[in-house]
């Protein structure tokens, strides 16, 4: 079964509304004839601005996180209901920065995944190991734990709305990239884990993105690998000059 490439840009904590508008307009123009699936995830404060600009385009609107509760006394949090109200279609959960800087554990991430899916949002679930975990030979074990725990209680039906993003933490923003072979090996392993959880059909159809210093000059080599189905792009998604060549790698 042919999987469709899915290229997503995570803008992280960058861009004012004016800056976000400039980039969104450039991407709408540059990607209108693109053949793949595209998403951009601006910061919360720019979601409404970007939503209006990409409304009738082929670019999906993503959010970088959501609260673990639907609503209530949660100062500083943003709920799935508020995200949906802005037109958000997909939420990125379990990003390594959330796991390691903000100490979100597998249980918390799983609750967020279930909440987002319950409210009809698609999910990009991020998994990946630290450098010391890779050097200790634990990369597969870490990715398996994060995948299995992140998907606890998710039905096969709901799982069809989940994309997995493999992000070796040691390759994010460091300029280091897993070799295409290293990345493909972990992607193949994650696909095997999905097969154990949901069967071979789900394993075959699940989109597994690679994230970690994806650039215009390495995108095609990564995408050429059998088990790599797209990219979750960080730094290179902040300029159309670097994101568009990745998005149109083929």
Catalytic residues: 95, 167
Strand ranges (E), the chain = 6-10, 37-41, 59-63, 90-93, 122-127, 162-166, 208-210, 230-233
Comparing C-alpha atoms, which of 121, 110, 109, 115 is closest to residue 63?
121
The residue behind tokens 């990125």 is 92
Q: How far is CA 220 from CA 30, 79, 180, 228, 248, in A?
A: 18, 36, 10, 11, 9
> Which residues, listed in sequence order, are joined to residue 208 by a DSSP beta bridge?
164
Phi, psi of 59 (to 5 degrees): -110, 125
Compute, in degrees rounded to 10, the torsion defined by CA atoms 100, 190, 237, 8: -120
3-state secondary structure of 139: helix
**Cα–Cα–Cα angle for 12, 227, 200, rounded to 5 degrees:** 115
* Residue whose C-alpha is closest to residue 104's, from 125, 83, 84: 125
> Which tokens is 153 given?
């209680």
Three-state secondary structure call for residue 14: coil
Do the Cβ atoms of 66 and 78 come closer than 8 Å? yes
């Amino acid at each position: 079964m042919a999987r469709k490439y899915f290229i997503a840009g995570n803008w992280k904590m960058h861009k004012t509304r004016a800056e976000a508008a400039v980039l969104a307009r450039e991407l709408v123009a540059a990607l209108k004839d693109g053949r793949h699936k595209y998403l951009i995830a601006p910061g919360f404060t720019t979601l409404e601005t970007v939503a209006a600009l990409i409304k009738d385009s082929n670019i999906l609107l993503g959010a970088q996180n959501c609260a673990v509760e639907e609503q209530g006394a949660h100062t500083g949090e943003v709920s799935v209901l508020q995200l949906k109200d802005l037109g958000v279609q997909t939420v990125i959960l379990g990003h390594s920065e959330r796991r390691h800087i903000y100490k979100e554990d597998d249980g918390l991430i799983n609750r967020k995944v279930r909440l987002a899916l319950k409210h009809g949002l698609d999910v990009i679930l991020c998994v990946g190991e630290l450098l010391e975990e890779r050097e200790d030979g634990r990369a597969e074990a870490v990715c398996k734990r994060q995948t299995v725990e992140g998907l606890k209680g998710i039905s096969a039906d709901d799982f069809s709305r989940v994309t997995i993003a493999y992000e070796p933490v040691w390759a994010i923003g460091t300029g280091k990239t897993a070799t295409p072979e290293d990345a493909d090996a972990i992607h193949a392993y994650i696909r095997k884990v999905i097969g154990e959880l949901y069967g071979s059909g789900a394993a075959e159809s699940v989109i597994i993105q690679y994230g970690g210093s994806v650039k215009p000059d390495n995108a095609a080599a990564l995408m050429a690998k059998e088990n790599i189905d797209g990219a979750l792009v960080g730094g290179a998604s902040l300029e159309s000059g670097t994101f568009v060549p990745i998005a149109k790698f083929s």
